[in-house]
Structure 1
């Protein structure tokens, strides 16, 4: 079975340049500069005209402008079954709402798996689109974000200013 070709583009944002990645099946990466787990574009093809990349860039622009609270993009995420279940669950955390790592472990039916859930959240390949920034540590502590805590705080502040926006 062949691996689908990954296309990418560099896209400016208020958080610095993003690298967006997609296959023919959907968006597979949103990476910040100095993203903790980003390995670079390697053998990916630079293709700013790729449809999923164009759609992601537009929806991210709308999100940063305060005109979008949800993303409507096909995703092509690679990860373990456990990671994908955690990432899918993150999508149900509403705009402007926060949760905790412990709460996410409980929702998954694995209350003792807080660290494993946290690790899976940290490996989310599509930051912002799958809203891992909405997950906080105990007692609301700002913790864990592969793009850096300053970016996580920016995203939380952006959403708190617009949390009255109808979904």
Structure 2
């Protein structure tokens, strides 16, 4: 495992790789950060870090970069399912925990509550790239972001989901 620190407009992130895949991306002060880092890892480069750095630069420039590098989060099969659903939330859109629960429930074959989804979302080991910041509460409130609610707000403003000092996302009615 290799790790490297990268600067972003919202703070330093640590990226991890197994040499081929991006396996982690955390703001260095986010919840669960320390507990998710491997005990033994080398500081240094790997080709995926350059691609992630380019992706971050484009993302924070307001572009909608495509994730064109391999991503491999480590977690239970249930969490993997949740993170796969998160990766399908388009740039500039949000989903509620209930929305995610409905999709995951279909995939796993039984009802899953929004609270259980929140646990999986909160333990996402690849922030930004697996866009857990695009998940909001049932009425559009900004809740539960391991990187901090101010960062979540900034990310949703960058993507055009929030305007000015809004504290809630306006949810579209289906």
Q: Same fold (TM over 0.5)?
A: yes
Task: State the match for 1:125 in structure 2.
Answer: 125
Return the match for 2:42 from 22, 45, 53: 45
User: What SS is found at the alignment partner of 2:5?
Assistant: strand
Which residue matches 1:85? 81
Determine the structure 1 residue equivalent to 2:5.
Answer: 10
Return structure 1 stretches of 4+ with deviation > 3 angstroms: none
TM-score (norm 1): 0.87
Unaligned runs of 5+ residues in structure 2 are 162-174
The total of aligned residue pairs comes to 155
Query: In structure 2, what is the equivalent of residue 3 of structure 1?
Result: none
* CA separation of 1:37 and 1:25: change in aligned 2, threshold 3 A: same
Shift of residue 68, structure 1, vs aligned partner: 2.8
| Distance across 1 between alignment mates of 2:113 and 2:68 | 29
Q: For the aligned residues, what is the CA RMSD?
A: 1.5
CA distance in 2, matches of 1:94, 1:60: 16
Indicate the residue corresponding to 1:108 in structure 2.
104
- Cα deviation for residue 121 of structure 1 reads 0.5
Is the CA contact (8 Å cut-off) linking 1:69 and 1:95 kept in structure 2?
Answer: no
Query: Structure 2: how far apart are the matches of 1:71 and 1:156?
Result: 18
Match of 1:165 in 2: none
Local SS of the residue matching 1:140: coil
Report SS of the residue matched to 1:115.
helix
Measured in 2, the distance between the counterparts of 1:154 and 1:111 equals: 32
